[in-house]
Structure 1
């Protein structure tokens, strides 16, 4: 499993509109091959800051399957105009604590 993490800074005053658009966009990402789950968290300290976490089966399910799909163009049209600056997206893999101990 791969965890995609993106910090999203939404333009001031657009938070409610962003959240509504994100609800619509959620159906897009949830329909993609390799998608497991996602959640959106709102920062308590910084206005307009959100954390998006998406679980994928494989890295390529996000970087190729989603990002190179027609569905991504719909996602982009719904959400990308809200961001300033554009988000940084990183991918993480779980470390087994049993192997460390």
Structure 2
């Protein structure tokens, strides 16, 4: 299992619109091969800051299967215009329980 972690900064004043768009876009990612689960967390200290955590079966399920798919193009269309700056995506693997 791979954990994708993304710190997101949403443009000021667009937080509600983003959360609604994310709810809709969640249908896209949750239908992808290798997808296990995801959650979006809102920062309590910094307005507009979010943490996205996605669990994938393998790294390639995200980096190839999702990122190189036509579904990813729709994901980008629905969500990427909200971000400033554009986020960095990192992947983690469990060391131990």
Same topology, TM > 0.5: yes
- Which category of TM-score, normalised to the shorter sequence, fits these structures? over 0.9
Aligned pair count reads 97
Q: Is 1:3 aligned to 2:13, yes or no?
A: no
TM-score by length of 1: 0.95
Q: Where do 5+ consecutive residues of structure 2 fail to align?
A: none
User: How large is the RMSD of aligned CA atoms in angstroms?
Assistant: 0.6
**Matches of 1:55 and 1:91 in 2, distance apart?**
10
> Paired residue for 1:50?
50
Matches within 5 A, 1:21-100: 21-97=21-97
Q: Where do 5+ consecutive residues of structure 1 fail to align?
A: none
**Matches of 2:8 and 2:96 in 1, distance apart?**
28
Structure 1's consecutive aligned runs of 4 or more residues displaced over 3 angstroms after TM superposition are none
> Paired residue for 1:17?
17
1:2-51 Cα distance to aligned partner (Å, 9 max, x none): 00000000000000000000000000000000000000000000000000
